Structure 1
């Protein structure tokens, strides 16, 4: 698998999620969401919840509700 370019808002696959570490994953998040990232181990199905109850998905590269 060729390396991906880590850019904010870029969706990734489940396989890519498994390969990336916390530092790499946080680079895919908008700055406003980064402080709420709990770490890869606490992302259920590639998603995590922000303080306001919204969920961010690495697979969609956006909020789950969008």
Structure 2
């Protein structure tokens, strides 16, 4: 019975102590390519004297 109590205590400590750890924040690939996050899509607009590029991709795209 003592072994069960110790195992239960160890399991409870493991569950409650790990909940305070922060996970890594998701990487913002849209900002890496200087795009604008609209909530659902990443809008990338590039322009120069000779060209104009508009790209729109979903944020959940792999």
Between structures 1 and 2, the one with greater strand share? 2
Kindly indicate whether structure 1 or structure 2 has the higher relative contact order, using CA contacts under 8 Å at least 6 residues apart: 1
TM over 0.5: no
Structure 2 length normalisation: TM-score?
A: 0.25
Larger radius of gyration: 2
